[in-house]
Chain A
Amino acid sequence: MQIEIITPDKNLFSGEIKQANFPGTSGSFELLNNHAPIISTLAKGTLKLIDKEGKILTFEINGGVIELLENKIIVLAE
């Protein structure tokens, strides 16, 4: 699935991933392929992505919001 991480200052990351782990405001959660559409807010914490080759990418965020629709994740991070 596709992911895009956007901050007001720049485009932090965009690419293809297998799995994503988010620090949600009501506990951390994980999104895999073909997840149902979801909108959720994020708390301060670490965002963990696993890309196609199984490499782990991490991003520190200060909160934000995510939207997933048709295997496209958009993260508005701070």
Chain B
Amino acid sequence: MAGIKEIRTRITSVQNTQKITSAMKMVSAAKLRKAQTAVLQMRPYSEKLKEIIENITSASDDITSTVFSEQKHSGKTLLIPISSNGGLCGGFNSNISKQSIYFINTSLYDEFSRGNIEIFSIGKKVRDLLKTKGYAPNRDETDIYSHLSYSSASEIADEIMFEFLKGNYNKVFLVYNKFKNAATQEVTVEQFLPVASQKQDKAVKQNNYIFEPSESTIISELIPKTLKLQFYNALLESVASEHGARMTAMHAATDNASVLLKDLKIEYNKARQASITNEILEIVSGANALRG
């Protein structure tokens, strides 16, 4: 059995760790709420945009295809894994790198074997994880999270769309954690470009809109907007998932610390009692020796 002093030191250190983990849990909970509001705030915008596009496409039939829905045969395939900059959030980041590698080795295997894959990682963690696994990203972006807004996200999206139009990329995929609830995230692979043409099934009410300029010009302006929005949405979902994952991980760590503390306290009390018993024994035997 370890000495009393050692146990006491361990108890203090576990208590300190527990304080840190429970504080981190609270911070994550607050950040999660903020991230969730950001996701919710974007919703009216994206719904309205979708509605307007539906209105236009229902008014005239053959303008659903744009430059962004072209199937290209030259160029590379771009994979964009989205992770966080900080750790301590369970499997959040390693799930992204695992899914990226799995996706490269299954669905994109043909392109991969021809060396036609490029990786553009977002967040420090997935960059480092992929590097150690031998899939070093060709580009990375790490400081977007300090000032995440629609405009900063759309700058990156713009750049990717421009490269796509130039023919440097034939396909672009996003890999990110979709926010289900605070405890669960779903790793999602989403095709960003080319845009899958939307099939209209529900009839939209005709309102005889005036289109200014023409329908096709409006559509060609709106499609890039939906793409930027999709990219921004992926980032927001990832941020919300990160805080959710960290909250859960820190909750588990705090619970573990409680269990550990309980065991340590029992051990400490046993050791304390043993030393008292020892002392009494010594006194008694000493007294006996004097008498004898």
Contacts and interface: CB of A to CB of B under 8 A. Distances in A.
Interface residues of B, number: 29
Majority SS at the chain B contact face:
helix
A14 to B, nearest CB: 11
Contacts of A10: 41
A26 B212 contact: yes
B176 interface: no
Contacts of B151: 62, 78
A19 interface: no
A40 B212 contact: yes
B33 to A, nearest CB: 16
Contacts of B38: 9
23 contacts: A6-B48, A7-B45, A8-B42, A8-B150, A8-B229, A8-B232, A9-B150, A11-B41, A24-B212, A25-B221, A36-B210, A37-B207, A37-B209, A38-B212, A39-B56, A39-B212, A40-B210, A40-B213, A41-B213, A41-B222, A65-B225, A69-B209, A76-B49
B189 to A, nearest CB: 23
Contacts of A76: 45, 48-49, 52, 225
Residue among B55, B56, B217, B221 with max Cβ neighbours from chain A (10 Å)? B221
B146 interface: no
B41 A9 contact: yes
Interface of A: 6-11, 24-26, 29, 36-41, 62, 65, 67, 69, 74, 76, 78
Nearest to B44: A6
B275 interface: no
B150 A7 contact: yes
Nearest to B211: A39
Nearest to B229: A8
B42 A39 contact: no
The 4 closest A-B pairs by CB, nearest first: A8-B150, A40-B212, A38-B210, A37-B209
A64 to B, nearest CB: 8
Interface in B32-55: 38, 41-42, 44-46, 48-49, 52, 55
A39 B210 contact: yes
B221 A41 contact: yes
Given A8-B150, A9-B150, A67-B52, 15 more contacts: A6-B44, A10-B41, A25-B213, A26-B213, A37-B210, A38-B210, A39-B52, A39-B56, A39-B211, A39-B218, A41-B213, A76-B48, A76-B49, A76-B52, A78-B154
Interface in B208-230: 208-213, 217-218, 221-222, 225, 229
B256 interface: no
B149 interface: yes
Contacts of A65: 49, 52, 218, 221-222, 225
Interface string B179-218: 0000000000000000000000000000111111100011
B151 to A, nearest CB: 8
